[in-house]
Structure 1
Amino acid sequence: MNGRSAFLLAGLTAALLGTALAGGTDTARQQEGFLDVNGARIHYVSVGQGTPMLLLHGYPLSGELFARNRAALAAAGYRVITIDHRGYGQSTAPAGDPGSLQTYAKDALAVLDQLGVPRAIVGGMSMGGPIAFEMYRQAPQRFIGLILMGTVANPASLVEQSLWKGMAQKAVTFGPQSLAPELLKDMLTGETRLNRPADAAFLTNIIKQASVAANVAGAQVLATRPDALPTLKTITVPTLILEGLEDTVYPTEFSLKMQQNIPGSTLVIIPGAAHAAIFEKAAAANRAIITWAKNLR
């Protein structure tokens, strides 16, 4: 971890624990609805006013992964937009196009278009990272900044490819809900699963909402994602990398490699958090994002 990363973790002061992080709903204007995008019907939530911040969820979750982030970030002066990728959460997809890396990226850009957002800070968690990289390849001019949360730039190894193919097969055979036990052991630390069962139940309910077709499509995206390391060297916008110290899906070594390849990027490692650090340790994640993004307008 570099000096700047240590500063972000150690220098989170009491001032940031005040109104900006409380996420008071009196100052946050919320919109929610559906947009017809590229043949799909995409559910979105927009909270707050100010610099747009689009947050992309991972597999096989929904925009509700960011339920603990929206209000706090909105209170700090951002318009926080979350979407459910096609087939996940409340979004639906046509049978002929359940999803692909290119389609997820085009969907997200089209949502920004329909909401009248020319540029945004774009954040991607897990599968949302490769989607954000694809968005950057397609339209780098749309980015104010980039947030990478528990994600990876490397292509999937042979072992990881087998894992995602197994997830897809299990969803087809036993239904989307069958994936929850497989995934929660990596999304949340053992301590959280033991002492905060409501957190596990919340994520389980999100996982259950995904369609079988979306589970298969998302698993295919993760198994076949391209090598994004060449893309990292082209990123010129400010970039924050958030990593849970106990992430076993994409451990800290992957985040360190991204930091080394994205010029000027900042790495924050969150103790006591696993793969879903943005949810499990939301207050720490919110502080890190607000500290990093305060000058991005």
Structure 2
Amino acid sequence: MIALAAIALGMVALYAYGRYRVSRAERRYPPTGEFVVAEGLRLHYRSRGEGRPIVYLHGGVLTGDDFKEAIELAAAEGYRGIAFDRPGYGYSERPRNGKVTPNAQARLLRKALIELGVDKPILVCHSWSGVLALAYALEYPDELSGIVGLGGGFYPEGYPAEKGDPVSSLITTPVIGALALHTLLPVLGPPLADSILKQTFKPESVPESYRLATRALWLRPSAFKANREDVLAFVPAAREMADRYREIRTPLVLAVGEDDPFETREHSFRLHREVPGSDLLVLPGVGHMIPQLHPEAVMLAIKRLDGQAANASRELPPAVIRSIGASEPSR
């Protein structure tokens, strides 16, 4: 009985510590944008500038703030940059019932853009959101001006959770998952986050400000669970859509770091071969985290897509881009 009481007391203490960490994180990193309602959910976004709309979709770790510098560059170039926190991340709400698949997120995004009066945007997607952007292009082919993929994930083969993910499976298990989220995550989460970030950013360095923000916002139970649900949703969604990628006629520019540590690096090369007329930019010395570390490359890819810089590669030192090429039209 004494042992059980001690365990129960320990669990209560860990739960209380977790609640304290969430409260402290949200005080330190409050919402900095605005909200739009889609299907009864409040979605948080940041908007800068006026002009042709560019919508930025972050990957699987943090928030729309991943594109903070990129949207400022876009605004300076005469665009309107809009960066969303995807459902469940940052300060965007996530549906409580049902699986929030890439297709479901595409539907939510479309309704949010309609509510905001945004017409035919360019979608800029990073990492996990590659499959979300392609879901949007397949479902609503006439409603986009183009897609820019940044180290995007598009296929089940080579995805880190291709053969399952034990952490994600644990976290999404009823009761046990909730217990782990509210008691173990506050203690085990920080070193886990540091390790994941180190692997994700290599061979480049993790900015200290990004590391601290990740510890604060990504390790909230709701955000971490959303991330693990997305990890498990990626492979079945990509497997279902991959055979249709050749149907895509939305203008497409793919940028990938030559030193990207993930096997998904090959996804950009494969998609470039499969989508007629797509462009591929290979960035020497660049890893996976292009939006966070190389916002100027994001802008270059957008301008390449937008046709505003036929000689865009001349605007940056030769080392920045190794190759740019258009895929051959299908016969």
Match of 1:219 among 211, 231, 254: 231
1:84-233 matches, cutoff 5 A: 84-97=85-98, 99-156=100-157, 160-162=161-163, 164-167=165-168, 169=170, 172=177, 173=180, 174-175=184-185, 177-178=189-190, 179-193=192-206, 196-209=207-220, 211-227=223-239, 228-233=241-246
Correspondence for 1:57: 58
Correspondence for 1:48: 49
Unaligned runs of 5+ in 2: 1-31, 310-331
| Whole-angstrom CA distance in 1 between matches of 2:171 and 2:289 | 22
**Once superposed, what is the RMSD of the aligned Cα atoms?**
2.6
Shift of the 211–115 alpha-carbon distance from structure 1 to 2, 3 Å rule, reads: same
What are the superposed Cα offsets for residues 180-218 of structure 1, whole Å, 9 maximum, x if unpaired? 23421232124423xx43443344444235524312321
C-alpha displacement of 1:136? 1.4
Correspondence for 2:257: 244
C-alpha displacement of 1:157? 5.5
With 136-145 and 92-101 compared, the bigger mean Cα shift is at 92-101
3-state SS, counterpart of residue 175 of structure 1: helix
| Whole-angstrom CA distance in 2 between matches of 1:156 and 1:169 | 23
- Larger Rg computed on CA atoms: 2
With 148-157 and 204-213 compared, the bigger mean Cα shift is at 204-213
Kindly, what percent of the aligned residue pairs are identical?
24
**CA contact 1:186–1:247 (8 Å) conserved in 2:** no
| Whole-angstrom CA distance in 2 between matches of 1:170 and 1:46 | 33
How many aligned residue pairs are there? 264
**CA contact 1:244–1:272 (8 Å) conserved in 2:** yes
| Whole-angstrom CA distance in 1 between matches of 2:45 and 2:98 | 19
Correspondence for 1:281: 294
**CA contact 2:218–2:224 (8 Å) conserved in 1:** no
3-state SS, counterpart of residue 242 of structure 1: strand
- TM-score normalised to structure 1 length: 0.79
3-state SS, counterpart of residue 140 of structure 1: coil
**CA contact 1:98–1:214 (8 Å) conserved in 2:** no
With 92-101 and 70-79 compared, the bigger mean Cα shift is at 92-101
1:19-34 matches, cutoff 5 A: 32-34=33-35
Correspondence for 1:15: none
Shift of the 211–284 alpha-carbon distance from structure 1 to 2, 3 Å rule, reads: closer
| Whole-angstrom CA distance in 2 between matches of 1:81 and 1:250 | 29
What are the superposed Cα offsets for residues 3-49 of structure 1, whole Å, 9 maximum, x if unpaired? xxxxxxxxxxxxxxxxxxxxxxxxxxxx9311221232111111111
